[in-house]
Amino acid sequence: MKALVYQGPGKKEWVEKAKPVIEKPTDVIVRITKTTICGTDLHILKGDVPTVTPGRTIGHEGVGVVEAVGNAVANFKPGDAVLISCITSCGKCDNCKRGLYAHCADGGWQLGHLIDGTQAEYVRIPHGDNSLYPIPAGVDEEALVMLSDIMPTGFEIGVQYGRVKPGDTIAIVGAGPVGMSVLLTAQFYSPARIIMVDMDPARLELAKQFGATDGVQVGAVDPVAAILEMTGGRGVDVAIEAVGVPATFDICQKIVAAGGNIANVGVHGKSVELHVEELWIKNINISMGLVSTNTTPMLLKTLGTGKVDPAKLVTHRFRLDEMLQAYEVFGNAAREKAMKVILSA
């Protein structure tokens, strides 16, 4: 089969690789029909995730068709259409029983990280019964790909951890795919004001189409001064970091109101400076984490009602064998006006 392989910082190749096989009774082999590229994949390629070793097939999102199942798999059979969760969960360990699938004793974030991932023609899914979801009839598969990772990430780590509630003023720093997922799912809780912060005016305009009330363009204005002015000097109830660089986390520290929350969603490859000397007196909470995807069943139901349409995040489409071209577009998102790319077999 063909697969996108990480070969060290700054190096990737679309190469021939052995097709995965059943290794354990709980495994499922899935033929990929649609996948995508995540900002985390770009962090991997920069060398920000040293646990990813050369030779690894990357990618952790997608939908496909079951090709083969281990003899302990009960929920799926060959031919079933499935949504792949970015998180592998055994469903039996203490953390899984708490819904903390990100820290499954025999799973967590494995795909494209510790084992070969989804940017390939086939992928092996450990603990298939608990790490795959049946695709409901009639649901847009492009929308479903967004439920592999970015939608539950934005919802769980941004909205839920940030404790967004009705009437809040929130700021989302970073209008990329995850920031937009925060924007879409934050509206479940009816915040009064949603301020989107980004360098790209096109993304800010798109964010307003998706429900943001305000846009702040970094570079055109001082984002901290602008947001404090917009809020009468108070700041925001929830500041959500959705980029993964020190500068954007620093913005969140400076705009959070007393009694507010900072929710860090971005993947950081460098340390940040925590201004405890300024924050301790403000009675704030800071949260961060890896998505557990425990909200995926709920998001699947929401998708079915039409309340949220993550398919509108898709801006570019490629064939699976155009993987390198897709990376060129996604890696230059501002120039290409790219949000999410879909690669189809």
The domain spans of the chain are 2-149+292-344, 152-288
DSSP state letters, 82-130: EEEPSSB--S-SHHHHTT-GGG-TT-BS-BTTTB--SSBSEEEETTHHH
Residue-level pLDDT at 307: 79
Residue-level pLDDT at 153: 97
User: Which DSSP state fits 221?
Assistant: B
Of 325, 304, 305, which Cα lies nearest the Cα of 316?
325
Residue-level pLDDT at 84: 98
Whether the Cβ atoms of residue 31 and residue 144 lie closer than 8 Å to each other: no
Sites in the chain below the pLDDT cut of 70: none
Domain 152-288 has CATH 3.40.50.720: yes
Please state, in angstroms and as integers, the Cα–Cα distance from residue 296 to each residue in 156, 181, 276, 291, following that order.
Answer: 10, 13, 35, 10
> For residue 266, how many C-alpha atoms fall within 13 Å in the half-sphere facing its CB?
28
* 2-149+292-344: CATH topology: Quinone Oxidoreductase; Chain A, domain 1 (3.90.180)
Of 123, 143, 111, which Cα lies nearest the Cα of 41?
111
Strand partners, 15: 3
Helix or strand holding residue 151 (H, E): helix 150-153
Residue-level pLDDT at 309: 86
Rounded CA separation 222/239 (Å):
16
Q: Which residue has the tokens 């969760």?
A: 85
Q: What is the value of pTM for the model shown?
A: 0.94
Residues whose CB falls within 8 Å of the CB of residue 6, separated by 6 or more in sequence, listed in order: 12, 44, 45, 52, 53, 54, 55, 56, 57, 58
Pairing mode, if any, of strands 81-84 and 62-69?
antiparallel
